Structure 1
Amino acid sequence: MKRLLWMCVAATVLVSNGALASEALSKAKNCSTCHSASARLVGPSYKEISAKYGKQKDAEDKLSQRVLKGSSGVWGIVPMPANKEVSDAEARALVKWIMSQK
């Protein structure tokens, strides 16, 4: 059942790539444990990320890799762990949605 739910969420994101689907994906992949739309939690808010990287041409590629592989030292001392449960397509969908947050 859990696997079916993940497949449905992923399929929804890939088909629609809309804001609601990506928001649901961010919750399903536990991004909201450390990030929120406008307030800094453990990590930066989605709006902060969008503001910092919004004008960079390679932002989607760079941030997708950070979602997948993790990073450290970019937003402070707390590292972002790698997300092995996130596929390349899901990482790109998440980043596109995050970059749309203004």
Structure 2
Amino acid sequence: MKATAQPIPLVEKEMIPNFHFSRHDVLESTEAKKKRMWNLNRATILGNGYRGKVEITFKTAEGELKRVDTTVWAVDDKFMTLKGGCCIPISSVVNVEFY
């Protein structure tokens, strides 16, 4: 039998303050980190200019992957701020998907 991967749970952005995040970066390569920042800055432009949403995949301190479908309002060197004021540490972001 072939094992199938479990889908990553989609959470509401209002649940994000309930999660704990690690101080260690989930990405190892410098190139992956650069791409993540480029994508987050692009998501901010999309969110502020067009009210567009993206899907953010992130990892909690417990090692669980989660997804949130949201608008990114701001990004600095350590955190991203989502619509509604929730923040996620950039070091916990695994992927940013545009649709």
- Between 1 and 2, higher relative CO (CA 8 Å, sep ≥ 6) is seen in 2
TM-score, structure 1 length as denominator? 0.31
